[in-house]
Structure 1
Amino acid sequence: MDYGYGISVCSPTQPSRRFPVPATRLCRIVLLLLTMVLLPVPGRATADSPVPLSVFVSILPEVQFVRKVGGDRVRVQALVQPGQSPATYAPTPRQMAALSRARVYFRIGVPFEKALLPRLLDTMPHLDIVDLRTGLHLIELGNGQAGELDPHTWLDPMLVKQQARTIRDTLATLDPRGRDTYQAGYRRFAAELDRLNARLARILRPFAGQTIYVFHPAYGYFCRAYGLVQKAVAAGDRQPGARHLAQLIREARADHVKIIFVQPQFSRKTARAIADAIGARVIPLDPLAEDYMANMERMADRIAGALEERK
């Protein structure tokens, strides 16, 4: 049978009038075309493989939280990249363009968000903005910064468990067909966080009530969770004056401090000055590492090691 395209479709008894094509070859061509039409195309959504939700977060630890809950149904990007500080970060034009195509942004309360949020509300009304601090028991940042809330909630695994619940509910609202996936992801992640919390408590229990010296007061929630006290060298991003520095040196010497912890995102100059004065060492402690579970155990081990040296 001729359909007007110069070929006869699968008819071995009726040759084509325009371009003679062997019947067996023609059938193969038709089958190939049907296969190309029916097979899924990369990037095309199907019932089993939907186009992932585009998600943005502020910091790298959140990337793991969203992936743990959302699995393959999400594509998540962080604004603050390795080595950058949330206190001084500003998004690039490329990041803003990518953010404009996202479906949801999970904020967590870090400093740069204060300037970013009005821009998002003005220029991206379609973007859902979800605050992962909602419903948490927050504390003040301390160290002379009265009224300023500590944003480092992710350093307490039990607070992360609550944040994961918010992530689950948000994703399920935006993507109802993935509700079972998000619930299963949340349950697995919550169990991992419970086990992590138990391990950290076991590591740090012998040092309850002791003080750790840090450059930036980022460990308030961590210390609250595991019975420690943090003493920060810097108030916010301000370097201590000469009088304050001398006082810190006296206190550190009285506390028999052997290690001062610093974040990779900050200068070590002041911490080294104190360490040199009292014969201590400066050790990095990164609250912003992406490998959240391993990093939390690494932090606990380093803190326990530092406190053990005082004995």
Structure 2
Amino acid sequence: EGHHDEEGQLGTSLDPHIWLAPSNVQKMGEQVLNHLLEIMPNNSESLRSNFLKFSSEVKELDQEIKEKLAKSRNPKGFLVFHPAWGYFAKEYGLQQFSIELEGKEPSPAELIKELKEAQNMGIRNIWVQPQRSSRMAKTVADSLGGKIFELDPLAANWHDSLRKATNRIVEN
């Protein structure tokens, strides 16, 4: 059935990387604010002020990503080794193609199918996570005439991680 999905769902497993979509981060921030207001009502002014700053930064990043992607003539998708970027893909109307599914490398037939779909969209490069690099990623990049880029969905700097992902799509 293929390993790509814009919904953040991959096969029968759920993509846990919900923080890679700014709209989800915004919602999580609102929930955190509400819980903190319940347990720390005396700090409501600073909590609200900090949340407004945070919310503004998230919205600015979201707008920056939308503008960069709108100007790009490059593919509206990307190829990853491990399917961690489903929510990011859904957020921006992109398609995530994945080599690995549910922690397993694909069969030769599945790999050929994914590579053909990625090639048909003009995708040449593959993203790998520093935690999950693979020799197969090099084989895939070589077969597409592309490069391997390391992108960390678990990076400490969330803003930079999303900017880097966006730039990789634009630069494909």
User: What is the TM-score normalised by the length of structure 2?
Assistant: 0.86
Q: Distance in 2 between matches of 1:185 and 1:202?
A: 26
Contact 1:205 1:226 in 2 (8 A): no
- Aligned residue pairs total 165
Whole-Å separation in 2 of the counterparts to 1:297 and 1:256: 21
CA distance in structure 2 between the partners assigned to 1:295 and 1:201 by the alignment? 15
Q: How does 1:1-311 map to 2 (within 5 A)?
A: 139-142=7-10, 145-146=11-12, 148-207=13-72, 210-306=76-172
- Whose RCO is larger (CA < 8 A, sep 6+)? 2
* Conserved 8 A contact 2:125-2:144: no
Following superposition, the deviation at residue 207 of structure 1 comes to 4.3
Task: Output the TM-score relative to the length of structure 1.
Answer: 0.49
Q: C-alpha displacement at 1:268, in angstroms? A: 2.3
Cα distance in 1 between the residues matched to 2:131 and 2:48 = 35
* Local SS of the residue matching 1:213: strand
Letter in 1 for 2:21: D
Identity of aligned residues (%): 28
Unaligned ranges ≥5, structure 2: 1-6
- Tell which structure's C-alpha radius of gyration is larger: 1
Secondary structure class of the residue paired with 2:16: coil
Compute the displacement of 1:289 (Å). Answer: 0.7
Provide structure 1 residue ranges, at least 5 long, that are not aligned to the other structure.
1-138, 307-311
Structure holding more helix per residue: 2
Corresponding residue for residue 133 of structure 1? none
Contact 1:207 1:228 in 2 (8 A): no
Change (3 A) 1:153 1:174: same
CA contact (8 A) 2:151 2:161 kept: no
